[in-house]
């Protein structure tokens, strides 16, 4: 069994509010009596893509368990690489593979610099294919990136969803190792399907999306930050539990 925590959309901007909300969630995770095997952070870590925001993220996300990240549309690849990953500030896609308790996690870059919508470019799609091809047929893999590849029935996230999702669906169809797809971006806890796999969207740390039937402005800033816990069993069954942190 693999136990993963999943958060998204911290939007760290140097304000006391953003810092406080992220700190509450990380304190909660560090205090769990049974630690998670890893924490996934699916993008929009910084609000403006500035190095200082990633330097703060490095401090806030420090934990006794692995913390795996991928960028979102608010993130800037060079600063993200330099201040968060300690790498050269290259503008190319940030794709990373991790192996956690027998599970392979592909943290993918679905960002288009300067745009809200996402796309897995040819380089990233080839990297996903090569990474999955190298795995044994009985391995288990999760694919994580920022923008959901399906509509969530709200005009705000649906205007910035992943473009060209069919290419990823074809890849997933060819690789039975993929157990699920994990994303962020929408600021709402959601569950759907994609390419006959579970599609799980993490809630946001910064604010919660009000759906059209709930009325009011889209951004509910009074809701507490949320997170997801994914339990991945040996038969590739994914079970997700959502929590808020008061």
Q: Which ranges of the chain have pLDDT less than 70?
A: none
The pLDDT, as a whole number, for residue 44 is 98
pLDDT, position 21: 98
- Is the pTM higher than 0.95? The answer reads yes
Q: What is the pLDDT of residue 40?
A: 98
Contact between 202 and 43 under an 8 Å Cβ cutoff? The reply is no
CA distances 211 to 50, 187, 189, 215, 220, Å, are: 30, 10, 11, 7, 10
pLDDT in tens, 93-124: 999 999 999 999 999 999 999 999 999 999 99
pLDDT at 82: 97
pLDDT at residue 140, rounded to an integer: 97
The Cα–Cα gap between 102 and 89 comes to 31
- E strands, the chain, are 2-7, 38-42, 67-70, 96-100, 103-107, 118-119, 140-144, 162-163, 178-183, 190-194, 197-201, 208-209, 219-220, 226-232, 238-244
Structural tokens at position 69: 């990240």
pLDDT at 166: 97
Residue 15 confidence (pLDDT): 98
Per-residue pLDDT at 151: 98
pLDDT tens digit string along 21-51?
Answer: 999 999 999 999 999 999 999 999 999 999 9
User: What pLDDT is attached to residue 203?
Assistant: 98
């Amino acid at each position: 069994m693999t136990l993963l925590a999943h958060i998204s959309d911290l939007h760290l901007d140097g304000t006391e509010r953003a810092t406080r909300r992220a700190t509450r969630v990380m304190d909660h995770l560090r205090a769990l009596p049974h630690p998670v095997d890893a924490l996934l952070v699916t993008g929009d870590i910084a609000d403006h893509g500035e190095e200082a925001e990633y330097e703060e993220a490095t401090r806030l996300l420090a934990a006794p368990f692995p913390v795996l990240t991928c960028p979102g549309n608010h993130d800037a690849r060079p600063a993200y690489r330099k201040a968060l990953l300690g790498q050269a500030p290259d503008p190319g896609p940030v794709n990373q593979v991790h192996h956690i308790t027998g599970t392979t996690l592909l943290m993918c870059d679905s960002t288009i610099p300067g745009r809200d919508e996402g796309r897995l470019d040819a380089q990233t799609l080839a990297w996903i294919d090569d990474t999955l091809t190298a795995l044994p047929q009985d391995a288990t893999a999760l694919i994580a990136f920022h923008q959901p590849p399906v509509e969530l029935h709200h005009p705000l996230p649906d205007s910035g969803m992943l473009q060209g999702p069919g290419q990823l669906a074809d890849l997933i169809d060819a690789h039975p190792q993929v157990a699920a797809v994990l994303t962020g971006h929408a600021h709402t806890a959601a569950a759907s399907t994609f390419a006959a796999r579970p599609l799980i969207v993490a809630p946001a740390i910064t604010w919660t999306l009000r759906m059209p039937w709930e009325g009011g402005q889209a951004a509910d800033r009074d809701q507490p930050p949320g997170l997801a816990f994914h339990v991945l069993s040996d038969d590739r069954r994914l079970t997700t539990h959502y929590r808020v942190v008061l």
